[in-house]
Homo-oligomer: A and B are copies of this chain.
Amino acid sequence: MVLNILIVILFLRLSEFSVTSESMSNEDDFTKAKDDFIASWGALGTSWGISRTMAQIHALLMVTPDPMSTDEVMEELHISRGNAHTNLKDLVGWGLIRIIVKKGERKEFFEAEKDVWKTFTIVLKERKRREIEPAINVLQDCSARTKNCKTVEGKAFNDQMKDLEDFARFASSMGEKIALLSYGPAMKIAAKVFR
């Protein structure tokens, strides 16, 4: 009995150092890497202006092959039902995850878009809608209201508004065009232009 325990302890110690020799270690690498990815993605999220939890849920779903229920997300990330619910629905609103209904199951499941290019184009479109378009409205308004200004200051302001508006419109249209491309063509263009 004591010998068995010793063997188990030895086995556990060894497994900390062996990377390729047996299955438990691989499993463990995966689980740890997954948890690290979720944690790091959450931290990064805050620097992109999205909440930690939302980024974590997105990360979790991106690396989970099967759709997950709200309860599974809650359990995995140790968050409340309300929090999980709100953020899942926000992610659906962004189009980054979708609702899956399984037959025979009453609850909703969620799965992330896993294709990286598709995810990118979704973010592009949403940011255009949420960030660039409101800016264009502001700039257009400020430009229009100072069109007839005669003072040097007024003219300079009007010019600056017009420059900003032009650029915002350009960025908006570029975003739109890029989002229409699929991965292959996009790479071709990039390769051609920046060869």
Residues in A lying within 8 Å of B, measured CB to CB = 19-20, 23, 26-27, 29-30, 32-34, 36-37, 40-41, 44, 47-49, 62-63, 65, 114, 116-117, 120, 130-131, 134-135, 138-139, 141-142, 145-146, 148-151, 153-154, 156-157, 160-161, 163-164, 166-167, 170-171, 173-174, 177, 189-190, 193-194
Partner of A44, one of B47, B135, B154, B166: B135
Distance in angstroms between the alpha carbons of A39 and B163 in the assembled complex: 19
Known pairs A29-B149, A65-B156, A117-B167 / 20 extra A-B pairs, C-beta < 8 Å: A26-B149, A27-B154, A29-B145, A30-B151, A30-B157, A32-B145, A33-B141, A33-B146, A37-B139, A37-B161, A44-B135, A44-B138, A47-B130, A47-B134, A65-B153, A114-B160, A116-B166, A116-B167, A120-B167, A174-B190
Residues of A contacting B: mostly: helix
Closest to A180 in B: B194
